[in-house]
Structure 1
Amino acid sequence: MISLLERLTGMHTLTDQVIAMDFMNTVKSGIRNYAMAVTEAATPEVQSTLASQLEEMLDLHERIAEYATEQGLYHPWNVNEQIDVDLKNIEVALKAPNL
């Protein structure tokens, strides 16, 4: 449950965004690793399995990006909007109480 303090400071949105962006970055890292592994696979069977996993990771990345975009947390096609979101997040983080 989101606390009153999180709502008043805007931290609940920042928390959602941090989770979504962290998840997306983790998936991107997995995509890079699978892509490298596919090119180094020793057998066609292993290559096929890795390529299948790579496809699943790409689909997952798309789903996360769509969610973040729909929630207004991520603006991949508009740099100015993304900069505005990032600047607002910086302001919220700077105003957050030091615990």
Structure 2
Amino acid sequence: MNSLIERLTGMHTLTDQVVATDLLIAAKSGVRNYAMAATEVATPEIKAILAKQLDEAIDLHERIADYMIQKGWYHPWDVKEQLRLDLQNARTALNAPTL
């Protein structure tokens, strides 16, 4: 989207927020997948590799979550505020002009 249009519609910050949210969801999925894989492997060597990857995935998730918390885009301990923000974002997306 054109940056001028993004600013006029208020979508310029939402764009960054959407990218960060997608990255957070992908990181969370990675954590879950590595954890599941680590419980299914047969050799200690592969389990150790997966455990290392799991630790790195958890670290990535934490860094993304911290970034989003600092920006005010993610409220993992305040369900009411997170719901308010999610509804606001949904309204913004529904009211966005189509190009």
Relative to the length of structure 1, the TM-score reads 0.92
1:23 and 2:23 matched:
yes
TM-fit CA distance, 1:8: 1.7
- Residue 84 of structure 2: aligned partner: 84
CA distance in 2, matches of 1:46, 1:94: 46
CA distance in 1, matches of 2:86, 2:3: 23
- Partner of 1:76, secondary structure, is coil
AA in 2 matched with 1:89: N
Aligned length: 98
TM-fit CA distance, 1:92: 1.2
Higher RCO (CA 8 Å, separation ≥ 6 residues): 1
TM-fit CA distance, 1:94: 1.7
Percent sequence identity over matched residues? 62
AA in 2 matched with 1:90: A
TM-fit CA distance, 1:7: 1.1
Structure 2 gaps of 5+ residues are none
- Residue 65 of structure 2: aligned partner: 65
Mapping of residues 2-13 of structure 1, within 5 Å: 3-13=3-13
AA in 1 matched with 2:74: Y
CA distance in 2, matches of 1:10, 1:56: 34
Relative to the length of structure 2, the TM-score reads 0.92
Give every structure 1 segment of 4 or more consecutive aligned residues whose post-TM-superposition deviation is greater than 2 Å: none
- Partner of 2:72, secondary structure, is coil
AA in 2 matched with 1:9: T
Alignment RMSD (CA, Å): 1.2
AA in 2 matched with 1:20: A
